[in-house]
Structure 1
């Protein structure tokens, strides 16, 4: 644990150093100061756990410093040293953030005892913070979890049958996003630690996610979600509505100020372009990632708003995306290369940022296909990461194209194996898809279109390999998920019904009782 000593007399500071075996007690003195103002300036750049300060100092005394420190750095513990005449004043200042006080001259054993009390207090707080993060896994609303998963799906995966997507959005209480004329803007927020301590980032990751969810709740029409492909990042999507006082700058300011205040973390924020409608969600999301990728190295907080403009980057049409998808799923490598060269091979007349935007769109498409066929092997994941790194470097067009072609070839070979296997590999991919999208409206015809196979063949092969027909498998899957959701008392029965793909709570209750012999309400009461 790190300590700063503050006293206007250098001899006193030297004496404090000699009174304690700091290393043995688990502390490290990282700096010294001669007044409270100097300490506040140091705290802007140093992560500190404890400040030991004299009561009487020029410019800013110990009690005023404690008050300011409590406001700006509430996790730091302050010990004030005072003479006997100041005893009552210092004791009354406990409410201003002073955690302990010692009479001067300080005896070594008293200082040791105070440090041990502080250390135990800090360790207890950290343990409780960890327990709180674990508790949040149970308290955290299942509805919010599924909302976040679906938002990630909207920006990463292929969107077939938009009318079904809109129905699902309404079921998940995300009605505003189903509006054809909706305008949204994405933020990408990365947390960085000034001491380059990856373990501390891991410790604070869950609390920071919770913090972002709370901020999103405070801003109408704003949601946060997490993409496992990007470490230490949270993404926000905000509705742009003239009737709502949604100013993206307010959201940015709140995230950065509070991340610094409560976690002592730096944040790097990329602001995306404003986009229209569901079909441009991925465009808006990638533009926020591209803005973030323009950030400087280092731990200082930054805000980057260099989103791709409509003229530069919004030329990745749905038809072209479908052409690339068909080339992969029809195992036509030549067609993929020709299509890729159409948009990326003739880059002399396009900007670096525009090239990066289109390359990211292609990379997202390939990643989505790898996920759909459940073929996210180590080789594919490594190639995706290498390609993403090359795009962020914004300096090597040929390297990016090379990685995209290499990735497409790996996926095509896996798809070829799936197509010409005994059927097990394909059925495993379909089951994986169902396990992730059971709450959406899924039919055999939709799956046959999605996986480019005949629906009759799909039905027969599914039953042969899974041991039950498609509709029975889907109902069983939905019922097991419903049991999990019913444990969350925050969810109404209609919410649970919607989460598992039923638009009518009455029909859901009928199916549930037929399946388990209890109504959803009876089952919920039985597990209390």
Structure 2
């Protein structure tokens, strides 16, 4: 059984990874998790770890820092990197530092994780070389689609032959991937990726001038070679729309796209790849299954949205956690700024803020489209407002919708955490070291807050709940086995049989021996 360490400061990601698959069936077990690289490193120094699954962006020590430190150890575990939308530069650095592979958080499903573990099992943990000394394996030509993605992600050097003329880079993403992927079984390579690429290859202009590869089952990269300098913009957007329509018609997949500015040679490729991803992130303002390009009139820019996220960080954070006072205070300043602008500039500022909010919702594993029953094109919605007062009223309502949505989902998520906490207790009650702190740490809540919420929801304290679980299990063992009392005591988490006897008698009004008789 291989030991796995999960490293991520996002509680939901850690819990998701733990529960996404049956680890033991695949020959793995979760040894522990950590909220940053330093905590992970301290654990690895004292415990055997075969596989580290780590996020890139974390406080204290990030994923790159962890990889650098791991390379200084005598025994280095295999490392699987978790990547977000804008982490591709970090993923390339991770490969240079010895990471085995990566998983996109947006495409993290039971199937993608299981497939990755199988690949690691075959390529990293087992040597499939020819041990008999026979003939060498034949050299297999690597498809251009694979080479393109490997170059984009930093797994191989850039090859000049790919970039001998001007080009654009496009990134495509399947919308609602977690729902859509359920239709494609467990073998994404055969059931999803291969059909996506084959359908694209049946479009003549794609087949003749483009290379398309899968960055992940949910994300695709296309190199579009420019052969029409006068009309490349219109033709590229048209090709992009045709691809999305083909995938929608034949595979019932809604796909959004981002297109870069032109690039020339190897020196531009990685920047154009990043730019295509940035354009894709602006899709939230247009709706699902849309195309974002850098030439669209009056479209916002990635840099403007990112700056808005920094400028209005307190307002956005207040909206996410339902902090009425902070929102009230911060929006006064925001509206004060808007009234100093021309109406057009004020509308643009609102779009920047809305897109930045959408990014935060996405990071929180939510979707801005869930705010309303119908899909909203924010360019059109904001564009129809013809005066500052109307803009202010709409934004006030919008802020309220976001706060109400987050409050509802926060309650749901906290309830889910209590369920996970109780499952963790049921899985670990036999461990004498199980404490309130260890359970709170597992679900990522402050110990005091967890204690208060647990007592409120369960009607009894954590300590009393754990005691009841242990004693109930002890009674089951007495009724169904011939184990001795001291063996039962140890089986339900008590090191001292005397202490177990006192607790049992207090709850059951009879000694363990008397209960068994």
Pairwise same-fold verdict (TM > 0.5):
no
Question: TM-score with structure 2 length normalisation?
Answer: 0.33
Question: TM-score with structure 1 length normalisation?
Answer: 0.33
Higher relative contact order (CA 8 A, sep 6+): 1
The structure with more radius of gyration: 1
